[in-house]
Amino acid sequence: MKYNFGAGPCILPQEVFKQAAEAVLNFENTGLSILEISHRAPEFDAIMDEGIALVKELLNVPEGYSVLFLHGGASLQFSMLPANLLAEGQTAVYVDSGTWASKAMKEAKLYGNVEVIASSKDANYSYIPKDYEVPADAAYLHVTSNNTIFGTELHEFPKSPVPLVSDMSSDIMSRQINVADFGLIYAGAQKNIGPAGVALVIVKDELIGKSGRKLPSMLDYKIHADNKSLYNTPPVFSIYASVLTLRWLKAKGGIAQIEKENIAKAEALYAEIDNNPLFKGTCAVEDRSRMNVTFVTVNPDHEKPFLDLAKKKNLVGIKGHRSVGGFRASIYNALPIESVNELIATMREFAASQS
C-alpha cells in the first residue's frame, strides 16, 4: 500500500483503476477492449455524451456553454485561448500568480498584447495578488485558480468587466464555482478529472469564432464544439477513464460533498504544519491551497531525514518542487483522508524522534 501524494498525474479513485483495467480487457461487455473500439462506435459516442453531461451536471454549467475534451493538455490551451479569443491588436490581461500563469502569458504574446495587471513574483509567488483594476477594454482576464507548484489558491474569483478565463487544472471539480461568472475554463485532466492525455474546456459559445483569425483546425474551438470533440480521433482511453472518475464523483455526492472532504483534509494537514514545531508553511495563510500543501522544515537539516522517513512509510510524491523546495503534499479529490492521517502521523513521529 502506497500513499500517493504526487502532484499530477496523480491518484485517482481505486474503483476507477479497477473499472479502467476491466475495460482494457472488455469494454462494457462489447467483447472488445476500450483500446480497440472505434471512436465512431455508438458505444463510445455514448461515453462522450455522458462525459459532457456529467461535467454539465457536476459543475451546474448553464445554457450557452460548450464542454470540450481536447488533446494537448492545458499547455495547448495556453495557445488556443488567445488564438481564439484575442484578436490582432487587442490586449489580454493576466494575473501572474506562478509558473503556469507565466507560461500562459508567454504563449498569448504570440497572438496579441499581454498586460500583467498583478503579480506575486516579488515574493516567489507565495500569495495570490489581489486588488487590481481590470481594464474594461481587455479581451479577457486570465487567472490561475490554483498554483500547483507554489501551493496557493484563488479562494474568491475577481469580479471582471471582461470575460473571466481561468486555468483550473489543479482544482477543478474540487470546489463549487459559478460557471456563469466565467467566459472560459480549462484544465488538464490529470488531477481531479482523469488520467493524462486530455484537457477539459468549458467555453461560452458567444466567445467562439470572434478573433477573425484563420486557425489550424485542431486549434479552433468552433470546430471542436461543432463536432462534439470528435473532429479527429480523440484520446479515447483518457476520456473513458475521465468519465469513470466523474461517475465516481457524482455517486459520492458531487462537488458539494467532495468540497467538504477536501476542506477537512486540508484543515487537518495545515493544522499539523502550524502546530508541529519542526515544520512551517510556505504561503500566505489566507491563500493556502486545498489541493497542494507546501511546507518546509524549520531546520533545513531536517529535510533529508524527514524525506527518508516518509519514504520508509510509503508516502510517495511529497518532495517539493525545486522552485519552492521542502515538501508538497497534493491532496486531490481521490486522496483519502487516511493518507493525510498517515502523513500527519509521520510528521509527529519525526518530531518525537528529534526531541
Instruction: Answer positive or negative: Cα dihedral of 332, 169, 251, 244.
Output: negative
Report the first-to-last Cα separation within the chain, whole angstroms.
29
Which three cell numbers mark 187? 484544465
Q: Considering only residues 268, 307, 316, 337, which one is a binding residue for a copy of itself as defined by CB under 8 A?
A: 316
Q: Considering only residues 36, 274, 308, 338, which one is a binding residue for a copy of itself as defined by CB under 8 A?
A: 36
Q: Considering only residues 47, 52, 74, 105, which one is a binding residue for a copy of itself as defined by CB under 8 A?
A: 74
For residue 143, the cross-strand partners are 166
20: contact with a copy of itself by CB under 8 A: yes
| Site map 252..291 versus a copy of itself, x via CB under 8 A | ----------------------------------------
Distance CA 264, CA 290 (A): 9
**Residue in 103, 131, 159, 167 annotated catalytic:** 167
Q: Which helix (H) or strand (E) holds 350?
A: helix 337-354
Please state, as a whole number, how many other Cβ atoms lie within 10 Å of the Cβ of residue 8.
Answer: 19
Say which residues have a Cβ less than 8 Å from residue 42's Cβ, sequence separation at least 6.
none
Site for a copy of itself in 141-180 (CB under 8 A): none
Q: Report helix, strand or coil for 138.
A: coil
Q: Are strands 164-167 and 184-188 parallel, antiparallel or unpaired?
A: parallel
**Residue in 191, 204, 265, 287 annotated catalytic:** 191
Q: Quick check: 184 and 201 in contact, CB under 8 A?
A: yes
Which of these ranges, 67-75, 133-141, 147-155, 341-349, lies near a copy of itself under the rule CB under 8 A? 67-75
237: contact with a copy of itself by CB under 8 A: yes
Q: Quick check: 153 and 332 in contact, CB under 8 A?
A: no
Which of these ranges, 55-63, 70-78, 91-99, 156-164, lies near a copy of itself under the rule CB under 8 A? 70-78
Chain-centre distance of CA 98, in angstroms? 14
Which of these ranges, 49-57, 186-194, 256-264, 302-310, lies near a copy of itself under the rule CB under 8 A? 186-194
Instruction: Give how many residues touch a copy of itself by CB under 8 A.
Output: 65
229: contact with a copy of itself by CB under 8 A: no
Which three cell numbers mark 226? 461543432
Catalytic residues: 100, 167, 191
Summarize as ranges the residues that interact with a copy of itself (CB under 8 A): 1-2, 4, 6-12, 16-18, 20-22, 24-25, 30-33, 35-39, 71-76, 78-79, 83, 103, 106-107, 110, 188, 190, 194-198, 214-219, 231-238, 241, 314, 316-317
